[in-house]
Amino acid sequence: DPITTPDIISSCQESTSGFEQKGALRTGKCCPPNLEKTIQLFEFPSKLEKTRKRWPAHKGSKKQVDSYKKAIQAIRHLPDDHPHSFVSQAKIHCAYCNGGYTETGFPDKEIEVHNSWLFFPFHRWYLYFYERILRKYSGDDDFALPYWNWDNPEGMKIPQIFLEDGKQNPLYDEYRNPDHLPKVVNLTFSTDDYLLDDPAKQIACNLGVVYRDLTSNATNSEAFFGGKYTAYPGDPNNPDKRSAGSVETSHNAVHVWVGQAKNPTSSPNGEDMGNFYSAAYDPLFYVHHTNVDRMWKLWKDLGTAGHSEPTDDDWLNASYVFYDENENLVRVYNKDSVNIDKLKFDYEESKTLWKNSRP
Ligand code: C2O
């Protein structure tokens, strides 16, 4: 059976998995506010709604950047227990990834959307609602999220809009690794960094990683999306094979690279980006994920045989529950995440040098 997020209100519990609680810089109390709403079925945006294009964060127009900062500032000013608040949005990730929810009837089976075929669709939905919420607070009908264009040499550093103006900047986060702020991201980073000190070499290495993630290491849906994850107890003849898809692995590297170096007293979990429970407190989280989501589109657009979504019913019918921009609770299914035309968002084009960068 498909993984089915229960009613996220009554079933939610404190998150305690996957992070060190002692000295943690953020909280594991991640359950969403209860507005006593019943869950509605998702409806696609109207066919008449315009498609907005997400833009590379290193080259947004003044209007794009201003609207984005304005919206983030506005949700930071909402009370924490508002479902649209900066904190509530950050806690969604913590609840879904660190044990906030369990499978209906199996309180010891925590739902975890990473390291499996839920990775791409879950995050696509998360961003979908986040973008519509921010659009509302931006007051800009053209609002679309930026993407951190780490597959393009010109976009491989943390985008400047996240670094300028210090603490006044709504995109500022104090829990980032200061050594990495001015550097080219390392798409194979792990805690024991070998540091390619030459940015040109790092760029070449990154392009090779993206090439492999979208081609040679992603020749079928399992390799790209990750391994099967279904509701307990599953089918003994066709058991779960949870594993990370090709892009998820380099995605993890970016998380750890942005977050602080782990330190038992000052940052036991590599906060913020270095652990799922705290990652979404950094606005960079969302623009990292828009680019991850863009990789899904680019992989499909390559048009290679095998480049298509899983067709298993247990993938198609897996579902999650979110608050939408009108504070309604909505249940959404993987199958409805596939067609971004119907979801009315797209990506501005950007250079794809990785296509010529077979390692
Ligand atoms: Cu839900 Cu980048 O992780």
Q: What per-residue confidence (pLDDT) applies to 197? A: 78
58, 86, 119, 123: which one is catalytic? 123
Quick: pLDDT tens for 167-225.
Answer: 999 999 999 999 999 999 999 998 766 667 799 999 999 999 999 999 999 999 999 99
Indicate the SS3 state at residue 133: helix
58, 114, 180, 307: which one is catalytic? 114
What is the token pair recorded at 241? 């094979």
**Which is the closest atom of ligand 1 to the Cα of 122?**
1
Containing H/E element for 207?
Answer: helix 199-214
**Which is the closest atom of ligand 1 to the Cα of 251?**
2
180, 255, 288, 307: which one is catalytic? 255
Strand duo 146-147 + 52-56: pairing: parallel
Quick: pLDDT tens for 226-268.
Answer: 999 999 999 999 999 999 999 999 999 999 999 999 999 999 9
CB-based pocket (< 6 A), ligand 1: 93, 97, 114, 123, 251, 255, 276, 279, 289
The letter for the amino acid at 49 is: E
Q: Which letter does DSSP use for residue 334 in this model? A: G
Distance between Cα 276 and ligand 1 center (Å): 6
Quick: pLDDT tens for 57-95.
Answer: 999 999 999 999 999 999 999 999 999 999 999 999 999
When pLDDT is averaged across residues 143-150 and rounded to a whole number, the result is: 98
Interface pTM (ipTM) of the complex?
A: 0.99
For the beta sheet containing 40-41, the strands, ordered from the edge strand earlier in sequence to the opposite edge, are 40-41, 329-333, 319-323
Q: What per-residue confidence (pLDDT) applies to 184? A: 95
Q: Alpha-carbon distance 81 to 31, whole Å?
A: 10
Strand duo 102-103 + 52-56: pairing: unpaired
How many CA atoms lie within 13 Å of 277's alpha carbon, on the beta-carbon side?
Answer: 24
Q: What per-residue confidence (pLDDT) applies to 243? A: 98
Distance between Cα 182 and ligand 1 center (Å): 23
The structure's pTM equals 0.98
Q: Alpha-carbon distance 238 to 240, whole Å?
A: 7
Quick: pLDDT tens for 10-67.
Answer: 999 999 999 999 999 999 999 999 999 999 999 999 999 999 999 999 999 999 999 9
What is the token pair recorded at 144? 């679309």
Could you tell me which residues come within 8 angstroms of residue 2 by beta carbon, excluding any fewer than 6 positions away? Answer: 230, 231, 313, 314, 315, 316, 317, 318, 319, 334
Give the chain's domains with CATH numbers.
40-356 (1.10.1280.10)
Q: Whose CA is nearest to atom 3 of ligand 1?
A: 276
Q: Alpha-carbon distance 322 to 319, whole Å?
A: 10
**84, 35 in Cβ contact below 8 A?**
no
Strand duo 52-56 + 345-347: pairing: parallel
Q: Following CA atoms 59, 60, 66, 67 in sequence, which dihedral angle do they give, to the nearest 10 degrees?
A: -150
Q: Alpha-carbon distance 52 to 234, whole Å?
A: 39
Is 307 a known active-site residue?
no
Peptide bond into 359 cis (omega under 30): no
Quick: pLDDT tens for 294-319.
Answer: 999 999 999 999 999 999 999 999 99
